[in-house]
């Protein structure tokens, strides 16, 4: 029996998603709940599990296609009685069976698995390795070792070439640069195609800098000598469809900028004492296996200052005409990823110690840059931090994340002449930029909050006077 699977409602109030990559091809045998595709919403890339156990009969859409919710994306040949069926387990699909009872709408994506049919029982799916898409293969017993084997006769040879091993961000980068992944040999573990492999295929320029570096470090002059010419040659302009994260970010920023009256204040502080503390923590046995960064110290200082200035941890409810005061801190961290800007948040950050906060930040940023942040982690934030210092920037005027009252930008730490103990000395200095919603936060409240953060960073021992 042929059954169609229609793009389900991901539960985010979205009407469309982009097919990032298929993990199966026509002729592949799949198990129930086996991941068959990566789908990009306006917030994250999520894995789409199969609602059936059977053989892939047809892929209706190609990678890079934006599909509306309810549209068919794949057909399966499911063992059973003969015939053709277009029914999908997703309740958003239309059905012509007027006598059948209304289908119960059940989530069938992240955290839920596929809707269970009466004739089948969900099978547990082996955990996938982080970041790497396994090649599509015939169904195997759970726990069977992953070994190289001859392709199934039913799988066309060209289908094998459609599934090079890479992560979703790498596949998107390859599409943007026009690189054919099937022509590349991966340098990563087990032949995984990495970002560096794609950039090398482009010409080895390495000019695709990442937010982690903030510059083109590691690129030799000899390699970049021809880069300006190549950037200006060829077509005179490039048009990129506005979709995915970029579309969502643009709408959110416009709504925020023209809804919340922004005020931005700046404070430049001597953070030498904090940098000294950072150096001591790195040599401490208690923090030997933890990556402590200036961002961790700023995040902890923000949580402490927020307890003394709670108005900055609130939101404006226009519909209810109420100001909602949060008694918890979901700390958003702006992260530059290959897919664009995302702001995942750390739940209940105010309850975490310095070590736990460092671990949470590390996991959050790694997940975001791998394109694996779940939609749930991208919503519910109460206040945010953006670290423009990694790009060598001192200050800025950050735009509020919609629904939040404030956002703090931390600049780079620089050695500068500074007044210290009535003398001029070379000190480590940082500029903090705080934007806040003036409907919720008065100038005095915003200023005290920023001053408290500055006090903690300039003299960490002052925390004892604040808690």
CA distances 263 to 128, 291, 299, 401, 438, Å, are: 45, 33, 21, 14, 6
Angle between helices 195-202 and 168-177 (to 10 degrees): 10
Q: Which residues contact 421 (CB under 8 A, 6 or more apart)?
A: none
Cβ atoms of 389 and 409 within 8 Å: the answer is no
- Distance between CA atoms of 450 and 297, rounded to whole angstroms? 14
Alpha-carbon distances, residue 43 vs 49, 243, 270, 339 (angstroms): 18, 11, 37, 10
| Adjacent-strand bridge partners of 428 | 415
DSSP string, 213-234: TSS-TT--HHHHTTHHHHHHSS
Question: In 3D, which of 57, 56, 74, 58 has the Cα closest to residue 19?
Answer: 74
DSSP, res 326: P
Q: Are 3 and 78 in contact (CB under 8 A)?
A: yes
262 catalytic? Reply is no
How many Å apart are CA 23 and CA 43, to the nearest integer?
Answer: 21
Selected catalytic residue, list 23, 84, 248, 438: 438
- Let me know: does 331 contact 385? Beta carbons within 8 Å: yes
DSSP string, 171-188: HHHHHHHT--GGG----S
Q: How far is CA 84 from its chain centroid?
A: 39
| Strands across the sheet containing 29-30 | 2-6, 72-77, 54-59, 29-30
CA 193, CA 119: separation in Å to the nearest integer? 39
Question: CA-CA distance, 416 to 424, in Å (whole number)?
Answer: 10
Rounded to whole angstroms, how far apart are CA atoms 395 and 413? 11
CB 380 within 8 A of CB 404: no
Question: Dihedral, CA atoms, 285, 287, 288, 294, nearest 10 degrees?
Answer: -130
Q: Which helix (H) or strand (E) holds 417?
A: strand 414-420
Q: Measuring CA to CA, which residue among 435, 12, 410, 41 is closest to residue 253?
A: 435
Q: Which residues are catalytic?
A: 438
């Amino acid at each position: 029996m042929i059954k169609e699977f229609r793009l389900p409602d991901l539960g985010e109030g979205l009407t469309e998603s982009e097919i990032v990559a298929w993990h199966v091809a026509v002729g592949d045998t799949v198990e129930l709940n086996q991941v068959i595709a990566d789908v990009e919403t306006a917030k994250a890339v999520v894995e789409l599990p199969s609602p059936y156990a059977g053989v892939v009969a047809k892929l209706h859409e190609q990678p890079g296609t934006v599909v509306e919710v309810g549209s068919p994306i794949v057909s399966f040949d499911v063992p059973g009685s003969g015939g053709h069926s277009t029914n999908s387990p997703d309740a958003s699909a239309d059905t012509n069976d007027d006598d059948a009872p209304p289908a119960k709408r059940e989530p069938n994506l992240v955290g839920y698995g596929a809707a269970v049919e009466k004739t089948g029982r969900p099978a547990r799916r082996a955990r996938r390795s982080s970041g790497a898409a396994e090649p599509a293969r015939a169904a195997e017993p759970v726990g069977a070792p992953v070994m190289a084997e001859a392709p199934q006769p039913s799988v066309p040879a060209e289908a094998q070439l459609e599934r090079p091993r890479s992560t979703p961000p790498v596949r998107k980068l390859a599409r943007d640069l026009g690189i054919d992944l099937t022509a590349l040999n991966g340098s990563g573990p087990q032949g995984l195609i990495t970002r560096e492999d794609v950039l090398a295929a482009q010409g080895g320029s390495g000019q695709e800098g990442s937010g982690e570096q903030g510059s083109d470090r590691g690129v030799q002059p000899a390699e970049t000598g021809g880069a300006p010419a190549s950037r200006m040659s060829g077509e005179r302009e490039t048009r990129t469809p506005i979709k995915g994260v970029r579309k969502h970010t643009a709408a959110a920023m416009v709504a925020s900028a023209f809804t919340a009256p922004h005020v931005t204040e700046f404070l430049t502080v001597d953070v030498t004492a904090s940098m000294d503390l950072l150096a001591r923590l790195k040599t401490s046995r208690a923090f030997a296996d933890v990556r402590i960064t200036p961002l961790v110290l700023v995040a902890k200082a923000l949580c402490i200052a927020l307890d003394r200035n709670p108005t900055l941890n609130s939101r404006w409810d226009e519909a209810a005409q109420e100001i909602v005061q949060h008694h918890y801190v979901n700390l958003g961290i702006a992260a530059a990823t290959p897919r664009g800007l995302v702001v995942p948040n750390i739940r209940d950050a105010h309850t975490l110690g310095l070590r736990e906060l460092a671990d949470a930040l590390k996991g959050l940023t790694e997940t975001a840059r791998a394109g694996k942040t779940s939609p749930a982690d991208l919503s519910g934030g109460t206040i945010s931090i953006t670290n423009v210092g990694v790009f060598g920037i001192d200050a800025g005027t950050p735009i509020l994340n919609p629904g939040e009252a404030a956002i703090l930008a931390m600049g780079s730490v620089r050695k500068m002449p500074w007044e210290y103990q009535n003398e001029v000395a070379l000190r480590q200095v940082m500029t903090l930029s705080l934007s806040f919603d003036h409907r919720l936060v008065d100038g005095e409240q915003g200023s005290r909050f920023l001053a408290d953060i500055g006090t903690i960073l300039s003299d960490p021992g002052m925390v004892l006077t604040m808690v």
